[in-house]
A and B are shown apart, each in its own frame.
Chain A
Amino acid sequence: MTEFSIKWHESEDDARITVVVLAGSIDMVSVDALTKGFDSLVESNRCFVIVDMERVDFVSSPAVGALMGCRRRLIEKKGNLVLVGLTPSLREKLNLMGANRIFRYYNDVKTVLSDYRWEHDNLAQKLALQVPSAPAYVPAIRRLISSVVMQKGYNRKDAFRIETIVDELANNAIEHGDHEQRKFYIEFSLDREKVEIAVRNLTRNLDPALTQRVKQKFENPVVDDESIRGRGLALVKMLSSELRLDIDTGGTTVHVTKVRED
């Protein structure tokens, strides 16, 4: 059995977060040291705490109760306490004491930071793809993006709308790219409130007149019998809060912003 130890430090990656590394046996005696530590944290308003339990062998049930109490105090000050690094057996013991109903468990500190920034900083996360310019890839791309947004908490309806936008833009990029285009690019950024999609293809030597016409089509997508794509663009425009086209010497980038609807 490892000797009990407790170490406190500010997270190297985010000064707002405190990491407490516990080791050994956590019983009522050691919990005393823990509670005193929390007292000073609360006093100095450092209310986000990650408790690293990777080297913990044993936790007594009064100790779990004390940890729950610490968490409650932090929650009252709009903070939180999460547990990281629990082995399966320790998890099972804690769950028997109802800990899983109170604490959020994480596998690693990194994911805690990620979630924290997502919630508190409205952190945007980016996904970038470079894909062969082939229609067969489009369903796979939209499934990728749909999965990601749902994993991040967007509901099915929003995910479907986003999928529709991606499908349309991707098909467009493939269809209207240069003949020698072998790849096209998608950059996808999401945060708690919105997603931003940028799809870029290769279009060189577009004459000014054509450039104008293309820009026009984006500004005012027209639905006519000959243009399946017109219908699609009109749909994208309806689904998004912003639709923008950038044409430079290398290619064309379509930017779409879509705000989360619920």
Chain B
Amino acid sequence: MSEKESLQIEFPVDADFIPAVRKFVAESSLIEGFTPKFSYRTEIIVDELCNNAVKYGPSTQGASIKISCEFKDDAIQLTVQDPGGNAKDVQNLRKVIGANENNTAFVGHGLEIVRMLTSGMEVSQTTNGETVIRVVKRRSQNLIDTLTE
């Protein structure tokens, strides 16, 4: 399809919502024609990004996290935005993302897994102080894929 499909989810800064949200995005990727394997990895990515957003997001009442998901022919673009974060958080996030691939001390660093599962990861900050993480996952780009598909 030439025009891309997209979906958006906004949910409270509350870990209770994460299992349901990650499954919804995974299921949506199946609907849009991606493979079950791709969908599983997407679920992991959404899980880790959301957990990160909930962990570092604000506790103010009514605050929410926004995920948007754009489906293209050969890739998914996921953007997670949370109202928390200042310049220092963004800096720290960028450090994690830029971390050495040989760093084996990243157990528990979900963002490292996201980095390995995606072909691009970008962290930025909006003008109203929201932290935005954007990732692109192509159908067949990580090492495991090229070995097994």
Contacts and interface: CB of A to CB of B under 8 A. Distances in A.
A172 B7 CA distance: 19
A114 B57 CA distance: 13
A199 to B, nearest CB: 15
B96 to A, nearest CB: 18
B59 A127 contact: no
B106 interface: no
Interface stretch (A51-59, A96-104, A147-155, A205-213): A147-155
A152 B10 CA distance: 17
A209 B100 CA distance: 66
A52 to B, nearest CB: 14
A114 B14 contact: yes
A131 interface: yes
A147 B7 contact: no
Contacts, number: 80
A127 B10 contact: yes
Interface residues of B, number: 29
A140 B27 contact: yes
Interface in A103-152: 107-111, 113-114, 117, 123, 125-132, 134, 136-137, 139-141, 143-145, 147-148, 151-152
Contacts of B118: none
A108 B20 CA distance: 20
B7 A129 contact: yes
A76 interface: no
Contacts of A140: 24, 27-28, 31
Contacts of B14: 110-111, 114, 125
Given A13-B60, A127-B11, A108 B19 contact: no
Contact of A128 (B9, B27, B59): B9
Contact of B10 (A128, A131, A132): A128
A117 B60 CA distance: 11
A78 B84 CA distance: 32
Contacts of B59: 13, 109-110, 113-114
Contact of B16 (A117, A136, A137, A152): A152
15 contacts: A13-B60, A110-B57, A111-B15, A114-B14, A114-B59, A126-B10, A127-B9, A130-B7, A130-B9, A132-B6, A134-B31, A137-B31, A140-B28, A145-B20, A151-B20
Given A128-B64, A144-B23, 5 more contacts: A113-B59, A127-B11, A131-B7, A140-B28, A143-B24
